[in-house]
Structure 1
Amino acid sequence: MRALVLNCTLKPSPGDSNTDELADVVVDALKKEGVEIARVRLADLDIKPGVSSDEGDGDEWPEVHQRLLASDILVVATPTWVGRPSSIAQRMLERMDAMLSETDDDERPVAYNKVAGVIVTGNEDGAHHVISEISGGLGDIGYTIPGQAWTYWNKGPGPGPSYAETDEGHDWSAKTGRAMAANLVAAAKALAANPIPAPPS
């Protein structure tokens, strides 16, 4: 089983990413379940605006698209900015829109029988809104979103330290992240054993 973690931080490598640090918890839990992991920081790539799987010269989304097709589990990790997902997360969803019209050999949308979950960080509130925004988009595209397929660390109202600057709330976020990983694997195994069929014509 393979999982792809897309980090939608605004910080390109090698900059520190609070979102990446919380993603480590989920990645470690997935590895303990025997899942093969690939991680991509989208800020490192030149991802053109658009709604197709390939926007032409210089577009680096097609490689991400191929990784999405090869993965059973998708984990989207995003910071919260002004109470919303990052602009990179929004561009990711816009580019994934093309998957709605792409089908596999059995005429199923290519995201069918794949599962997805969401990781959110931020030194402000809005985590549940961000989870809903990302999960809703992924569900539209065809992903199955298991129950409690998310974890987050948001400081709450007002300014404050970022995830890496404090230990506050980490135990809860880690416990929730481990549950997220377990639920993603369980749902992926269930779909592998009993796949969703192609939509009726």
Structure 2
Amino acid sequence: MTEPMPPSASSAPDRTALNYTGLTALFINCTLKRSPEVSNTQGIIDLSARLMRAQGVTVDILRAVDHDIATGVYPDMTEHGWATDAWPGLFPKVQAADILVLAGPIWLGDNGSVTRRIVERLYAHSGEFNQKGQYLFYGKVGGAIITGNEDGVKHCTSNLLYSLQHIGYTIPPAADSGWIGEIGPGPSYLDPGSGGPQNEFTNRNTTFMTWNLMHLAALLKAAGGIPAYGNLRQNWDSGERFGFTANPEYR
């Protein structure tokens, strides 16, 4: 059986159908390396950020390890025994972004420690609400980038994308990108001769991810976010059931 051919470029929709000007994006680079040490994760971030900026998106990039972000699951860890915590000062960048991309390395087949710390600090705000009364991150879009030279890109990105949607982010199709070199010690993404910047798979996935993030963020913004009916915690707590009825077979 012959596989159907994809539509030709001439039949593709006009890429200017959506307006991305006015969107904001934040990339959080969760490398373990402090500035100015070279971050291979930053190499892929730069690809996506450059494409977004070309479409009028305002992009900010935060290297988490350069900041004294405390460990924990509360908005301000100085209220829970820590002497200092940079997170409360950084969080307004997260809250202002229509698009959030978590990016980091693989270590021992999983997300690195800085990445996990950022996920935990995002989770600290999961009980807060937006102006509609929905959970705070409703109406925002999330993606993930992973780099390394050991297997685990899909495992790491699936963990991040699940975590983001669990706290309210909307995840578009193909919302992840990554690069891994030969398994074991070897060149990293930005090392000469690694083949990383020329890798067709990574470049394609990064491009698709970036456009899908912008498409969905623009659609959500134009629609005023996610409709509020059926997802308001305060209304549920007050007795509203949004059409839900208990299973009559349950005893």
Is 1:77 matched up with 2:103? Answer: yes
Q: Which residue of 2 aligns with 1:63?
A: 89
User: Aligned equivalents of 1:144 and 1:43: distance in 2?
Assistant: 26
Matched, 1:159 2:181: no
Report if aligned partners of 1:4, 1:67 keep a CA contact under 8 Å in 2. Answer: yes
Aligned to 1:129: 155
1:161 is displaced (CA, Å) by: 1.4
23-32 or 51-60: which moved more? 51-60
Counterpart for residue 97 of structure 1: 123
Cross-structure match for 1:190: 219
Superposition deviation, residue 110 in structure 1: 1.2
Matched, 1:41 2:70: no
Q: Could you tell me how far 1:175 is from its partner in structure 2?
A: 2.1
From the CA coordinates, give the structure whose radius of gyration is larger. Answer: 2
Q: 158, 169, 174: which is aligned to 1:148?
A: 174
2:52 aligned residue: 30
Q: What percent identity do the matched residue pairs reach?
A: 38
The answer to whether the Cα contact below 8 Å between 1:125 and 1:156 also exists between their aligned partners in 2 is: no
Quote how far apart the aligned CAs of 1:171 are: 2.9
Letter paired with 2:36: P
The residue that corresponds to 1:20 in the other structure is 42
Between the aligned partners of 2:43 and 2:161, the Cα distance in structure 1 is 21
Q: Indicate the SS of the match to 2:45.
A: helix
Name the counterpart of 1:176: 205
CA deviation map 1:132-166 (0-9, x unaligned): 11111111111011110111001243332111121
CA contact (8 A) 1:8 1:42 kept: yes
Contact 2:24/2:98 (CA < 8 Å) preserved in 1? yes
SS at match of 1:164: coil
Secondary structure of 2:126 counterpart: helix
* SS of residue paired to 1:49: coil
1:101 aligned counterpart, secondary structure: coil
Match of 2:27 in 1: 5
Contact residue 130 and residue 137 of structure 2 kept, 8 A: no
TM superposition outliers: structure 1 runs of 4+ over 2 Å: 156-160, 168-172
Q: TM-score, normalised on structure 1?
A: 0.95
* Gapped regions of structure 2 (runs ≥ 5): 1-22, 237-251
Q: Which has the higher helix share?
A: 1
Check if 1:87 corresponds to 2:119. no
Residue pair 2:145, 2:177 contacting (<8 A) in 1 also = yes
